[in-house]
Amino acid sequence: MLENNASQLPAPAVVLEFHYRPKNAARPHDERENTDFFEWLPGSFIPIPAVDDSVSYKSWKQTGPGDMDGEDIVVMRKVASRHFYIYQNRMVAYVVVTDLSSKEAAGRVKE
């Protein structure tokens, strides 16, 4: 007789990617916006933001014509949707983010 041992399976490693969707765009950018690589080991607590949460992270701002002309900046975005891709021993959480108005951003954080 087969036994359900789903709880015995090893926990997957988790990767978190933020993909920016500009205002009025039909879909987000293909490349991830966060410059830091977020990966958690199996069994770790994973803080995956929910829809309508706000998040801040490092991003790259282009400042000139060359690929290396830019700087790391911290952006604050609002979570629009999430998609989880699970394969083998890894799970990727794709988090689509949009802009926050300055008024909404001010109401979400305490300085």
Confidence (pLDDT) at 21: 96
DSSP string, 26-81: SS--SS--BSS-EEE-TT----PPPTT-EEEEEEEEE-SSSTT-EEEEEEEEEEEE
Is-above-0.75 flag for pTM? Answer: yes
pLDDT at residue 1 greater than cutoff 70: no
Type and span of the H or E element at 86: strand 70-87
Q: Where are the domains of the chain?
A: 12-20+31-43+53-108
- 17: exposed, middle or buried (Cβ count in 10 Å: 0-12, 13-18, 19+): middle
Q: What is the pLDDT of residue 94?
A: 93
